[in-house]
Structure 1
Amino acid sequence: MTTDSTESTDSHVAPLSDPDAVHAETVRRLERAMGSLGTAAVARMERRLPWFRAMSAEDRSWVGLVAQSGVAAFVDWFKSPRRSRPAIAVEVFGTAPRELTRSVTLQQTVEMTRVVIDVVEAQLEELAAPGGEQHLREAVLRYSREVAFSTATIYARAAEARGAWDARLEALVVDALLHGDREEGLQTWSSALGWSRSPVVVVAGHLPDVDAETAMDDIRVLARRAGHDVLAGVQGERLVAVIGVNDKVAADDPLSAVTPLADTFGPGPVVVGPPVTDLQTAGRSAMAATNGLRAAVAWVDAPRPVHAEELLPERALDGDTHARRRLVEQVYLPLRGAGSPLLDTLSVYLEHASSLEATARMLFVHPNTVRYRLGRVAELTGFTPADGRGAFALRLGVTLGRLAERDQGADSPL
């Protein structure tokens, strides 16, 4: 009877040597331990991960839910050994909001996953049925590998989506600056792009012989390597970069920040707009840079890069009203305000081929007097009469000033 009873009992309960029985027993143990494993994982993260402790309560709760879901998804996958790959993205990370990828970096997610795996491995002997330890260990390793792949995929997709959005937003900002509109939205847009640098200069040049995306990427890499903020955009054959200059670079010397970037532009002039205090006022720099680029063809020997202010004469002749106003303000108004001797001396000097002696004879003064007055002209205007470019700018500034004075009255030459 004993034999019959034993045989009857064995017919209902499989021996532990049966792989299926070992697997089933391991599954039962895992199911009983799911809650405690998740709790232990969160507790270990509290102890080992400073960034986790520093998170908001809401984000910590979401991370804890991800950890719990990871354990539950592993148990569910382990139940069915014939399932090829666990659906990590849906079963684990699908519980958390998309915004969590902004709060938790990829590196932090890897650390979190490592903690959960460590907790499971630490209790592996108790979780596995006798004889099932190796099988469970291999399953944990395989599952952790799938978690790693899924984590990388999720963050790659999030980065790709943010990159596409950032590219569209970047193009929108550059377009707004070039057209001088939508300035009320620039603060929000620049904050979304992480803009923090000032002063700001705009650089304009022609596209190089590569596709537009490659050209913009080259500018971004070089500028960010130097510590500058940068936005880049393409309009037709024109490549425009908005540079938030690193604080280490002098605010009044934007060319020193831009010169290393000049080679990323195509052949022809590269024009740098004047520095402004922030992105909201960068439209003025953008207009000067693009107008300067259009007019730079008239200055064959222009340096590369060249400041837009150095192209004031060419810009004025090309119809740039701002450049005309700047020349009148910089040349004509100071000279007229200083009295007729300076303005008369300059006019005669320019009319007589920049000859000191001829000017002195025409004015019945000593050449040293002419020399002194011309020195005062240079001090007041920033242009040297004896220099070819300076004489060009001075002649044009005086001419434009007299025309403006004629049109608007003697008291208001502008």
Structure 2
Amino acid sequence: MAEPYARSMASPTPPRGTSLPIPDPATVDRLRTQIGALSTATLKQLDSSLPWYRNLRPDERSALGLVAQKGIASFVTWYQKPVSPAWVLSDVFGTAPTELTRSISLQKALQLIRVVVQVVEDQVPDLAADADQWPLREAVLRYSREVAFAAADVYARAAETRGSWDTRLEALVVDAILRGESSDALRSRIAAVGWKSQAPITVMVGSSPAEPNAMFLNELRRTTGRLAEDTLVGIQGDRLILVLGGVQDRDNSYSRLSELFGPGPVVYGPESASLVAASGSAQAAFAGLTAARAWPSAPRPVAADDLWPERVISGDETARKALLRNIYRPLASAQNGLEETLSAYIALGHSLEATSRELFVHANTVRYRLRRVCDITGWDPLLPREAFVLQTALVIGRLSPPPRGAAERPSTRMDRTASL
């Protein structure tokens, strides 16, 4: 590079910003005849000076070599008649932007442009007479600047396209989960969005901020990235949906994530084994969000399973089945009159003494039986809110027909809280 640089310093150069003089026709003709030789020299220089170029696949090297050749040919046309650089994007890169951005980084693309400029500049003494060398060198420098800006534009547009596509694909996956879709197409989309977590999945829903702009989404993804292994984000109208995989320290994480939602209740569904099976968690969360206004003092966030009574009253069949399976049937099949004791305790205003008199047992026996109710169901009848859940389960159970066949093993609230 020292010799070309010395030659360029020896030739007079015009001030920056001035227009180039009209090129010598003989120089233009010589450039046209040397396009093939310049392209060959460029490819040899790329192979010798850029180690990463030698390690590319043949198809990737071909795509980059085509870009370099187009760049040289387009320079000759531009040198003959400098015009607006807008054509550089399509003329030099053509159909290569997608292949180019997949093959190399922007930094490597600029290295390639630098090599092309070096090769052309080295050949200036052989391409132009002494009087025409400085316009040719100036043209090479200006043209390389335009190509560099065009390369940056290519990469910026490719990044925007990938970002837009990733966002649309993520929205499709979230929508498929909400609809309960389970297909090969969904599995393919899940793989395409880069979901890697094999941990249990939870869906969290609530209202979205008034204006969920790009800054909000970036902050949301940074926060979820620290609290969960994987996250999918969906915004549907005024609702924000988070599909979380592998949440660590769930109580604390759910509390921190709820701060990112808009005003109103925030509900998270039960854990699911996989992303394909996460529709159950999503449906429970949305049912809880609908019913949450019936419990004004509910915590934020609140588990969808803690809203079973409100969900039953609002017509949620899944909650009705959950109360039967997890509370009523275990109590009905238990010994020592647990169902009778619980019913009397609730009916008599949560009074231990009145319950003991009604059942003709000692008050300590009532306490023991109520503790057994808590052990079996996970809900404590001595707490007003949990007593309401148990009471709702009793009402639902008495209105439901008896189960057919053997009852399935219930998953109690104690089982759910034991893993917290």
Residue in 1 that maps onto 2:85: 85
- Kindly indicate whether the alpha-carbon contact (under 8 Å) linking 1:342 and 1:374 is maintained by their aligned counterparts in 2: yes
Kindly state the Cα deviation for residue 29 of structure 1 after the two structures are TM-superposed: 5.7
Change (3 A) 1:285 1:361: same
Equivalence map 1:14-413=2 (5 Å)? 23-24=24-25, 26-27=27-28, 30-31=31-32, 34-46=35-47, 49=50, 51-78=52-79, 80-85=80-85, 87-96=87-96, 98-121=98-121, 129-181=129-181, 183-197=183-197, 198-210=199-211, 219-220=220-221, 222-224=223-225, 229-243=230-244, 245=245, 247=246, 249-250=247-248, 254-406=250-402, 408=403
Give the residue type in structure 1 aligned to 2:382. A
Paired with 1:88 and 1:124, the residues of 2 have a C-alpha distance of 22
Give the residue type in structure 1 aligned to 2:147. V
- Kindly indicate whether the alpha-carbon contact (under 8 Å) linking 1:200 and 1:276 is maintained by their aligned counterparts in 2: yes
Change (3 A) 1:223 1:55: farther
Kindly state the Cα deviation for residue 166 of structure 1 after the two structures are TM-superposed: 3.4
- Kindly indicate whether the alpha-carbon contact (under 8 Å) linking 1:201 and 1:254 is maintained by their aligned counterparts in 2: no
How high is the TM-score relative to the length of structure 1? 0.80
Give me the identity figure in percent.
46
- Kindly indicate whether the alpha-carbon contact (under 8 Å) linking 1:216 and 1:233 is maintained by their aligned counterparts in 2: no
Change (3 A) 1:211 1:30: same
How high is the TM-score relative to the length of structure 2? 0.79
Paired with 1:47 and 1:202, the residues of 2 have a C-alpha distance of 54
Paired with 2:53 and 2:327, the residues of 1 have a C-alpha distance of 63
SS at match of 1:58: helix
The worse-fitting range, judged by mean Cα deviation, of 167-176 and 307-316 is: 167-176
The worse-fitting range, judged by mean Cα deviation, of 375-384 and 344-353 is: 344-353
Kindly state the Cα deviation for residue 125 of structure 1 after the two structures are TM-superposed: 5.3
Kindly state the Cα deviation for residue 144 of structure 1 after the two structures are TM-superposed: 1.8
Kindly state the Cα deviation for residue 123 of structure 1 after the two structures are TM-superposed: 5.2
1:360-385 CA deviation, whole Å, 9 max, x = no partner?
A: 33333333332222222212211111
1:151-188 CA deviation, whole Å, 9 max, x = no partner?
A: 22223333333344333333333332223246442112
Kindly state the Cα deviation for residue 294 of structure 1 after the two structures are TM-superposed: 0.3
Change (3 A) 1:21 1:108: closer
The worse-fitting range, judged by mean Cα deviation, of 303-312 and 50-59 is: 50-59
Change (3 A) 1:89 1:355: same
Change (3 A) 1:374 1:50: farther
- Kindly indicate whether the alpha-carbon contact (under 8 Å) linking 1:177 and 1:283 is maintained by their aligned counterparts in 2: yes
- Kindly indicate whether the alpha-carbon contact (under 8 Å) linking 1:74 and 1:143 is maintained by their aligned counterparts in 2: yes
1:97-131 CA deviation, whole Å, 9 max, x = no partner?
A: 73443343334323332333344445555555435
Kindly state the Cα deviation for residue 53 of structure 1 after the two structures are TM-superposed: 4.2
Change (3 A) 1:47 1:329: farther
Change (3 A) 1:409 1:276: closer
- Kindly indicate whether the alpha-carbon contact (under 8 Å) linking 1:262 and 1:270 is maintained by their aligned counterparts in 2: yes
Kindly state the Cα deviation for residue 350 of structure 1 after the two structures are TM-superposed: 2.0
Paired with 2:301 and 2:45, the residues of 1 have a C-alpha distance of 57
SS at match of 1:194: coil
- Kindly indicate whether the alpha-carbon contact (under 8 Å) linking 1:77 and 1:86 is maintained by their aligned counterparts in 2: no
Give the gaps of 5 or more residues in structure 1.
1-16
1:249-270 CA deviation, whole Å, 9 max, x = no partner?
A: 43xx545444333233221101
SS at match of 2:400: helix
SS at match of 2:298: coil
SS at match of 2:232: strand
Paired with 2:200 and 2:49, the residues of 1 have a C-alpha distance of 42
Paired with 2:23 and 2:159, the residues of 1 have a C-alpha distance of 43
Paired with 1:131 and 1:125, the residues of 2 have a C-alpha distance of 10
1:187-221 CA deviation, whole Å, 9 max, x = no partner?
A: 12222323333433222112332267776565345
Change (3 A) 1:218 1:341: same
Residue in 1 that maps onto 2:5: none
